[in-house]
Amino acid sequence: MKWILKILNLAVLPVTLIAAGLLFISGQAPALSPSHSTLIALIGMAFPVWYVLNLILLGYWAIQLKLRLIIPLFTLIFNVQGAQLYVQWNASAGDSTLQTLKVISYNANLFGANRNTSDVDSIVQIIAEQNADLVLFQEAFNPDGSLKKLMKQIGKKLDLPYSECYKLHPDRNYGMCIMSKYRIKNWDKVYFSQPTGNMAMYADIKIPDLKEPGSERTIRVYNIHLQSIRFNKTDYKAIEEVNAEQTFDKNTTEGIINRIRIAYGKRAPQVDALKEAINACKLPKLVIGDFNDVPVSYTYYELSEDLNDAFVSRGSGLETTYKGPFPSFRIDYQLYSYPIQCLKYESIKKVPSDHKMIVGTYEIRNYKKDQ
């Protein structure tokens, strides 16, 4: 039996080295723009897989008390911060004595229009139960008329009287929206340098100070929908077949990988434009939306710099926000800056979309009032 174990160990050792190398490389993905290399970004996309594989290999060598356990152990410790972006064990904070703000972010998936149905009423009902102060929609669409008119109708039902919409094209009622219980001082879109089907906008919200009647505080809220992979029906069918039968078609798989690489290449300059806009803003800010990228990525690393992540602060468990046929990842985020603090984070899975609905509750701590 000992010789069988020796042979097995000889086979597992190169696997251990390769797995450690892949985890190490994936952990470095945030530092390199996909504009220079999409291969590293693809390896980084599978960070949780490499991390779990190294945990298994650590257990394999630890059971035998082999010194080789140092290889996965070192790599796991080196990348523990990356793992914490996927799994957390936080509790919600207690009730706040300060002004609170409940914010919903939701990729509405065209409100069901792509399935020849309307999810508007069911979505409104779910949001109404949350009693949110701000609602940010991505992939909003009204097949029957004006997008802004639809938002006004939804806002009336939700007691969110203020709204702004950014349409991707003037002649198409598709885009994104920010809805607010409080007055929107101004808004604008964030300009991307290359033509794209994705978009970003911001709005400056005047939050009344309940402790000082008549006084207001301004925060900036970014609504973001970054470059999508844009799978077609053939891609989704292939992914569903893989999930069901664990079979791969080489040509289709190569096509899927190529689409992912193209998306990474297009997303990078969008991230650079957004980061420049965010850094130029001196107001307290919320940076929210569908980033279409995983936590261990150039996108997340750049946009979360100097910001806090609501899930990391107050989330619990393993978080995945995408619900479609492609493997589940956390690609929807709520980030925030001081003096805003997160009190609670949750995601709602039972919603009619391929994304979960993200709900963050925040308090706005004291800072210099508007002049």
Average pLDDT score over residue span 296-325 = 93
Render 342-363 in DSSP notation, one character per residue: EEEEEEE--SSSSBPEEEEEEE
pLDDT at residue number 251: 61
Token pair belonging to 177: 């929206």
CB 340 within 8 A of CB 286: yes
Q: What's the confidence (pLDDT) of residue 261?
A: 87
pLDDT of 236 strictly over 50: no
| Residue 75: HSE in the Cβ half-sphere, 13 Å Cα cutoff | 27
For 286, phi and psi rounded to 5 degrees? -115, 130
Is CATH 3.60.10.10 the classification given to domain 89-364?
yes
Mean pLDDT of the 211-219 span: 80
- Name which residue leads in pLDDT, 267 or 92: 267
Token pair, residue 205, equals 């919200």
> What percent of the chain is predicted at pLDDT more than 70?
89
pLDDT at 238: 46
Nearest CA among 305, 332, 228, 311 for reference residue 270: 228
The predicted model gives 211-237 an average pLDDT of: 76
List CB contacts of 158: < 8 A, sequence separation 6 or more. 124, 127, 128, 132, 135, 179
> Does the structure show a pLDDT above 50 at 361?
yes
pTM: 0.90
Return the domain boundaries, the chain. 2-83, 89-364
Confidence at residue 96, expressed as pLDDT on a 0 to 100 scale: 66
pLDDT at 6: 84
Q: What is the mean pLDDT of the chain?
A: 89
Q: Where are the alpha helices (DSSP H) in the chain?
A: 2-27, 38-45, 47-63, 70-78, 80-83, 120-130, 147-158, 233-245, 250-280, 298-303, 310-314
Strand 216-225 vs strand 199-208: parallel, antiparallel, or unpaired?
antiparallel
Percent of the chain exceeding pLDDT 90 equals: 71
Rounded to whole angstroms, how far apart are CA atoms 59 and 52? 11
**pLDDT exceeds cutoff 80 at 97:** no
Tokens standing for residue 360? 């963050």
> For residues 342 and 236, which has the higher predicted lDDT (pLDDT)?
342
Query: What is the CA 47 to chain-centroid distance, rounded?
Result: 16
- Alpha carbon distances (Å) from 68 to 9, 75, 89, 309: 10, 12, 30, 36
Most confident of 21-25, 39-43, 246-250, 264-268: 21-25
| Mean pLDDT across 213-231 | 86
